Amino acid sequence: MSSGLAAPAPTLDRKVVAGFAALTLAGVLAPALPAYPLTLLTQAAIVAVLAMSLDILLGYTGLPSLGHAAYFGIAAYTVAILATERQMGLAGCLVAALLLATATAALFGVLAIRATGTYFLMITLALGMVVWGLAFRWVSMTKGDNGIAGVPRPGLGLGWSLAEPLPFFYFALLAAALAWAAMGVLVRSPFGLGLKGIRESESRMRALGYNVWLHKYLAFVISGFFAGFAGVLWAYYNGFVGPADVQLVTSVETLLMAALGGPGTLAGSALGAVAIVFLKNFVSVYTKRWLLILGAVYIGVILWAPRGVLGAFTREPRGAR
Amino acid sequence: MDQTRVMRASVVEEASPGPATGYALELRSVSKAFGGLRAVDDVALAVRAGERRALIGPNGAGKTTLFNVISGELPASSGTIMLFGRDVTRAAVHRRAALGLARTFQITNVFPSLTVLENCLLAVQALSPVKLAMHRPLGRYADLHAHARTTLEAVGLGGRAGAIVQHLSHGEQRQLEIALALAGRPRVLLLDEPTAGLSPAESQLMAGLIKRLDPAMTVLMIEHDMDIALEIVQHVTVLHYGRVIADGTREAVKANPLVREIYLGA
């Protein structure tokens, strides 16, 4: 009556195992890696958190947000401003940034959640542009186009400095793993099942007794929270925060990562993030037309693997048990 | 299971105050207009607790529209809808569900890419605060799983719990449609053509399933198959162009000349 009843789909378990294996492998290989790949891997770990946070909306709830850079960027700016102008430590920056990103999502959610499909996409896009406009124009706060440079890496008081690439990589990897675990529990919880139900049929969910608006709204706010978490890591990683971090291209890239890896699978979004980060950095060595390549990759995914890369390799469970 | 029980108890408590009309579901001159078309026109309907009633009428008579108005999916243009003596005319769909109203859909409306068990779990947790819990995997809630399994057994889907719903046969999907409505232990059940698209043998199974439902449950069903409908219900309401043209025991309605003329075509 207990464990036998709780049989989740076996594919989920395999994804979790594969995710753990990938994290462990990255952790073991890191000391042997040259500086550049290690930097990219750090970047991938951080961006993976952003892609997974979007997947809660896109893949699980069926809400394609095109303004996710807003919460990421607001958190990054908060850290940058507090760390440079107030010399605030990690804890203070983290709390302030997460509060501000979550509050923004809570406000934007009220405006966006009533819409669905393309309209939802356009409203989130417009709200994202508002934040970008603030970053660009509110010069006294954000330094406008110049951005905020010189964000110091946090001191943990543990004897080793996060200023070095390797310790910071482990810091980012651990943070990403924690975020992945938290989101993993969320999507497997009763609340998470409710999100999948909304993705499949809102009218049935209402008839069953769900307040669909509340479910979507909470998903929106939680998604903004985790995007903010990624933004905090990004500010420390990059040491610089500028309008480019909150612009539309960042939102689009994030959407691509989630779609590329397989919407509705957190591990897939993380995989998509890793792929895009490496692809972007290698391709941009040879051409400035990086976005063209990205677009081509996206069209390819839509044509040949509409369920994403992970979806294409996951055999659909058979009808019979 | 305890949590669900507690929830049901509180729902009953919530529903009991208000004038005791004795009716589980009562509609007073309810209309629904789409522009100039009155799809539901001044309908009065009173269904006693525990009653089994069929809603019949030719295609386009407004039966499904009336169901959508009762469940709240469509707002009524005018009139009053009472559920256990409580005015729910303006209440949201999920509020009516919390008061014990459940429905099925004429066109199967389930969660196709989830498993049968997950579908049923969604229905089981729907009326409990557990649905907002996000800190524990669903697998830990053994009570919810047990309730879902029991519900699936009751509709004959016990052996298909792990199957993905889009791989089920049409008949099995219709069974699941009923299971989702029953999982919340409703007090008023609206069945919208439960036998739609079923073979005669499958229809008989479905009729048997409906007849075995808790006698305390109030059932209002739309049914095209008169043999099935008359086998299950005692009372029949006939709808024609959005209006109630006959209402009474199945014998009285069967004998009604107007009904014979426009509906039975005899």
* A300 pLDDT higher than 60: yes
Q: Is B170 on the interface with A (CB under 8 A)?
A: no
Contact A201 B160 (CB under 8 A): no
Q: What is the pTM of this model?
A: 0.88
Give residue A242's pLDDT band: very low, low, confident or very high (50, 70, 90). Answer: confident
pLDDT of residue B73: 94
> Is the residue at A83 inside a domain?
yes
* A204 pLDDT higher than 70: yes
> Is the residue at A280 inside a domain?
no
Give residue B132's pLDDT band: very low, low, confident or very high (50, 70, 90). Answer: very high
Residues within 8 A of A (CB atoms), B 204-243 only: none
CATH homologous superfamily of B2-264 = P-loop containing nucleotide triphosphate hydrolases (3.40.50.300)
pLDDT of residue A147: 85
Q: Which of B71, B133, B163 sits opposite A207 (nearest CB)?
A: B71
Residues within 8 A of A (CB atoms), B 185-204 only: none
* A175 pLDDT higher than 70: yes
Contact B123 A188 (CB under 8 A): no
Contact B139 A204 (CB under 8 A): no
Q: Is B71 on the interface with A (CB under 8 A)?
A: yes
List the single residue in B with minimal CA-CA distance to A215.
B132
Backbone phi, then psi, for B76, in 5-degree steps? -70, 140
**Closest Cα in chain A, distance from residue B236 (Å):** 25
pLDDT of residue B196: 87
The maximal CA–CA distance of chain A, rounded, in angstroms, is 63
pLDDT of residue A1: 35
Name chain B contacts of A202, Cβ cutoff 8 Å. Answer: none
Contact A319 B163 (CB under 8 A): yes
The mean predicted confidence, pLDDT, of chain A is 86
Give residue B8's pLDDT band: very low, low, confident or very high (50, 70, 90). Answer: very low
The CB density around residue B68, as the number of other CB atoms within 10 Å, is 24
**A73 residue type, one letter:** G
Q: What angle do CA A232, A235, A241 make, to 5 degrees?
A: 130
Best mutation site among A3, A61, A186, A193 for testing chain B: the one with the most B CBs within 10 Å? A193
Q: Where are the domains of chain B?
A: 2-264
> Is the residue at A94 inside a domain?
yes
> Is the residue at A305 inside a domain?
no
pLDDT of residue A4: 39
Read off the pLDDT of residues B45-104 as tens digits, 9 standing for 90 and up.
Answer: 999 999 999 998 888 889 999 999 999 999 999 999 999 989 999 999 999 999 999 999
Name chain A contacts of B126, Cβ cutoff 8 Å. Answer: 205, 208-210
pLDDT of residue B227: 80
Domain that holds residue A161: 10-250
> Is the residue at A41 inside a domain?
yes
Q: How far apart are CA B42 and CA B27, in angstroms?
A: 9
Read off the pLDDT of residues B197-213 as tens digits, 9 standing for 90 and up.
Answer: 889 888 988 899 999 99
Backbone phi, then psi, for B247, in 5-degree steps? -155, 120
Give residue A27's pLDDT band: very low, low, confident or very high (50, 70, 90). Answer: confident
In terms of phi and psi (left: phi > 0; alpha: psi -120 to 50; beta: otherwise), the region of B72 is left
List the single residue in B with minimal CA-CA distance to A222.
B134
List the single residue in A with minimal CA-CA distance to B136.
A189
Which value does ipTM take for this structure?
A: 0.86
A112-136: average pLDDT:
88
> Is the residue at A211 inside a domain?
yes
Q: What is the CATH number of the domain that holds A233?
A: 1.10.3470.10
**Which of the two residues, A69 and A12, has the higher pLDDT score?**
A69
Which of A74-78, A157-161, B115-119 has the weakest average pLDDT? A157-161
Read off the pLDDT of residues B159-170 as tens digits, 9 standing for 90 and up.
Answer: 999 999 999 999
Cβ contacts of residue A145 below 8 Å, gap of 6+? A136, A242, A243
Total count of domains within chain A: 1
pLDDT of residue A151: 84
> Is the residue at A78 inside a domain?
yes
Read off the pLDDT of residues B91-107 as tens digits, 9 standing for 90 and up.
Answer: 999 999 999 999 999 99
Q: Is B110 on the interface with A (CB under 8 A)?
A: yes
Q: Which of B93, B121, B168 sits opposite A207 (nearest CB)?
A: B93
DSSP B168-203: S-HHHHHHHHHHHHHTT--SEEEEE-TTTT--HHHH
DSSP E strands: which ranges in chain A? 148-149, 240-241
List the single residue in B with minimal CA-CA distance to A201.
B111
* A5 pLDDT higher than 50: no
> Is the residue at A264 inside a domain?
no
Contact A230, A49 (CB under 8 A): yes
pLDDT of residue A309: 65
